[in-house]
A = this chain, B = another copy of it.
Amino acid sequence: MKVLMTYFEVFDILRREFSNVSLKTETIPIQEALDRICAKDIISSIDVPHFDKSTVDGYAIRCEKTFSANDENPAIFDLVGEVKTGEIPTFEIGEGQAARIFTGGHVPDGSNAVVMLENTIEEDGKLFVFRPVKPNENILKKGEDIKKGCIVIKKYQKLKAPQIGVLAAIGQKEVEVFSKLKVGIISTGDEIISQDQNLEGAKIYDVNSYTLFASCTEEYTVPKLYGIVKDDYNALQDMLSKAILENDIVLVSGGSSVGTYDNTLKAISSLENSKILVDGVSIKPGKPTIIAKVFDKAIFGLPGHPVSCLFIFKFFVKRLIDILLHQQDTSKKVLAKMKTNFSISSGRTEFVFVKLIYSDEIIAEPLYGKSGSINLLNNASGYIRVDSTKTGIKAGDIVEVTLL
């Protein structure tokens, strides 16, 4: 009996083989860059703000005069003008003078603080300030938010709305990001038909093409469907050759039966410069997983069962995508209390799908379903891992659930 790899051995291999693959980049408008990965350090060529800016509506003053001000003894200033937002003031503020200013306004020379409107009364050209104002109060100093010459976004940082805001703030219209990875998807099996065909005999509809396509989209890759290939060595080899040329990653699902598994393994091995990295993993589901490297590209042989296939995508293919793009695993995890016992017996590390029930505490209810049941996944919130050294989990145990 062949010795199966553990899943952490597989993680190590993926890291070793794919961490240093160089990726293409492209330059795109910042508003289209959500969830893309920045391809180089971004350095600001300006100070933000590029002038001393008021953060409130109020009055620009020299603040020293207010230090002993209170409700009974306001500090009194002469009103000398108003700062027009967006323009540089044409006047200076002297001792005992004040100028109206609004949020975002350019603090005039000579002043060193802005007192909030709420703490003042304006009357007959005079301004009464009823509380002490500290130096620089309500002023965002030039470069205080972002300093010219500083790195604002790092290479490999994922661009979410705040990062896109930072790019906008420093005046960038475009950003260089890694190109989306291309993923080719092939379903195999004599029994698999497309949704265009009539369901007859012992055929079943192709599920994996669609769950994999959706999962690829979810990981911001560009999936392409190559359709269904019969359990035939030459047909599979032809399709693989075509798909690996056109993509960074190729996913072949099906062919987990004796014979068809060997067929898939042989077809993958036959490709030029193909190196089989993984040939079976000691996990359940997903034992018949194949991973190969072809030049700098990857081919996955995934189980045919829809549940196993989708799980292995989330467990291994997503991991590879993260490694290629230098991303941390961002799977969300929650702690939950097991509702019932769950025993395992495969001798492999088992992944158990659970439904989470949110009451006073979070309850994890294990989902039973025969292998091949797609509806099981439809009801699953996530999965828990039970190591092969254990015999199961007990009701009441606290388990870590990785959300799907």
Please list the residues of chain A having a beta carbon within 8 angstroms of any beta carbon in chain B.
30-31, 33-35, 46, 48-51, 53, 55-57, 84-88, 102-106, 117, 140, 144-146, 152-153, 159-173, 189-192, 195-196, 199, 201-215, 217-218, 223, 225, 231, 256-260, 304-306, 310, 332, 369-375, 377-378, 380, 404
Top 10 nearest A-B pairs by Cβ distance? Answer: A86-B191, A106-B202, A162-B377, A165-B211, A102-B257, A168-B210, A161-B214, A86-B190, A31-B213, A173-B195
Residues of B within 8 A of A30 (CB): 210
Residues of B within 8 A of A159 (CB): 214
Most buried by B among A31, A153, A212: A31
User: B304 contacts A145, CB within 8 Å?
Assistant: no
User: A162 contacts B404, CB within 8 Å?
Assistant: yes
User: B306 contacts A218, CB within 8 Å?
Assistant: no
Residues of B within 8 A of A33 (CB): 214
CB distance from A60 to the nearest CB of B (A): 13
> Interface SS of chain A: helix, strand, loop or mixed?
loop
CB distance from A33 to the nearest CB of B (A): 8
Given A168-B210, A190-B85, A217-B34: A372 and B162 interface contact (C-beta under 8 Å):
no
CB distance from A353 to the nearest CB of B (A): 10
- Measured between alpha carbons, how far is A65 from B37 in the docked complex, in Å? 61
User: A171 contacts B205, CB within 8 Å?
Assistant: yes
Given A165-B310, A196-B173: A86 and B372 interface contact (C-beta under 8 Å):
no
Nearest B residue to A159 by beta-carbon distance? Answer: B214
User: A199 contacts B171, CB within 8 Å?
Assistant: yes
User: B195 contacts A104, CB within 8 Å?
Assistant: no
User: B166 contacts A378, CB within 8 Å?
Assistant: yes
Q: Which of B145, B205, B306 contacts A375 (CB 8 A)?
A: B145
- Measured between alpha carbons, how far is A53 from B201 in the docked complex, in Å? 12
Given A84-B190, A378-B152: A211 and B162 interface contact (C-beta under 8 Å):
yes
User: B201 contacts A87, CB within 8 Å?
Assistant: yes
Residues of B within 8 A of A48 (CB): 204, 374-375
- Measured between alpha carbons, how far is A117 from B259 in the docked complex, in Å? 13
CB distance from A348 to the nearest CB of B (A): 13
User: A304 contacts B103, CB within 8 Å?
Assistant: yes
User: B257 contacts A57, CB within 8 Å?
Assistant: yes
Nearest B residue to A185 by beta-carbon distance? Answer: B31
Most buried by B among A84, A153, A191: A191
